Amino acid sequence: MTEDEATIINYALTDIGAGPMFSIDDDSELAEQIQYVWQPVVDRTFGMHYWSFARKTFRNERLAATPENGFSYGFTLPPGRIGNPLKYSADPRCRSPIRDFTLEAGQLYCDHPDTWSLCRVYVSPTVWPPEWRAAFITALGAYLAVPVWQDRQMRDDMLVEAFGTTSRDGTGGVFGRLMAQDAASQPVGDPQTWDDPLSNARFNSARDHWAGRYAE
């Protein structure tokens, strides 16, 4: 754990009324419980959406052996990613999504000799947007309420504030608003659809002659 992460924990502890009591050098039982809480909150918050500040494009490493599953090439997927990549592409700008592929044993197989993956990754608190950091502190505070105060009502109230009610399946609250804002800040249209003729009809200009591209 880094000093930056410890600072976020102390923000959350202060938010629930315990004060900045955590240190990365603390070996107390409570400090150990607090550290165990950190990773589940990271997993939940980073895994719930492809946050634009936590994406990264990787070039996939091609396997030397010829695949036995019928595809021409196999690739290892980037280590350290969170979940499966958002998309696989035949170009580094991820503008040409690969549609014919398979995933087997954590590896990518397709007929393209070079591939890239757009992945969700963990990034340091130093680059978290302020509004996202505030939401994370609320979520972390909810997870800390029981080990620190044995207060389940505080936990439940803060979970609703962070993620919304159970009827929203964890997509409401402040994180739900941030997901909507993050999605709205992206280019019009999903890049995964830009090579689809119907999407091109809507999003591309007439100068692209989109219909002719698919007339062959």
Question: Which pLDDT score, from 0 to 100, does residue 210 have?
Answer: 36
Hey, CA dihedral for 18, 21, 24, 27, is it positive or negative?
A: negative
Token pair belonging to 128: 């978290």
Mean pLDDT of 149-170: 93
pLDDT at 186: 81
Greater model confidence, 168 or 152: 152
Q: What residue spans of the chain are helical by DSSP H? A: 3-15, 29-47, 130-149, 152-163, 173-184, 197-203, 210-213
Residue 161 phi, psi (nearest 5): -60, -40
Question: Tell me, what amino acid is at 41?
Answer: V
Check residue 189 and give its pLDDT: 53
Question: Looking at residues 52-68, what average pLDDT do you find?
Answer: 96
State the Cα torsion 50-55-57-60 to the nearest 10°. Answer: -70
Residue 187's pLDDT is 75
- Distance, in Å, from the CA atom of 106 to the CA atom of 63, rounded to the nearest integer, reads 13
Least confident of 86-100, 120-134, 152-166, 190-204: 190-204
Instruction: Name the percent of the chain lying above pLDDT 70.
Output: 87
Give 82-123 pLDDT, tens digit per residue.
999 999 999 998 888 999 999 999 999 999 999 999 999 999
Statement: residue 29 has pLDDT above 60: yes
SS3 content of the chain, % helix, strand, coil (to 5): 45, 15, 40
Note the pLDDT of residue 106. Answer: 92
